[in-house]
Amino acid sequence: MNLFKERIKELRLEKGLKQSEIESQLNLSCSMYSSWEQGRRQPSIDAIIMLARFFDVTCGQLLGTEQL
């Protein structure tokens, strides 16, 4: 999942968003997204799907098994 945290940070920065803005837009609890981006917590399958849809990428691209 190390690639995952790098990918979500990269995708967030491409959108020009702050971590708190993503948490707000996706109705995540405070600091949930930041804990994923920092690698302190692992997202559920449902959260991975939600993030892939939000960033308009595949789950494989998000997890690093496919190229962005």
- Total domain count for the chain? 1
The whole-number pLDDT of residue 36 equals 96
The pLDDT of 52-59, averaged and rounded, is 97
pLDDT at 55 over 70: yes
Position 68 in a domain: no
Domain that holds residue 43: 2-63
Provide the CATH number for the domain around residue 50.
1.10.260.40
2-40: pLDDT as tens digits: 899 999 999 999 999 999 999 999 999 889 999 999 999
Examine residue 40 and state whether it is found in any structural domain, yes or no: yes
pLDDT at 67: 82
The position carrying tokens 């308009």 is 56
Q: What is the pLDDT of residue 1?
A: 59
Listing DSSP states for the chain in one string gives -HHHHHHHHHHHHHHT--HHHHHHHTTPPTTHHHHHHTTSS---HHHHHHHHHHHT--HHHHHTSS--
pLDDT at 62 over 90: yes
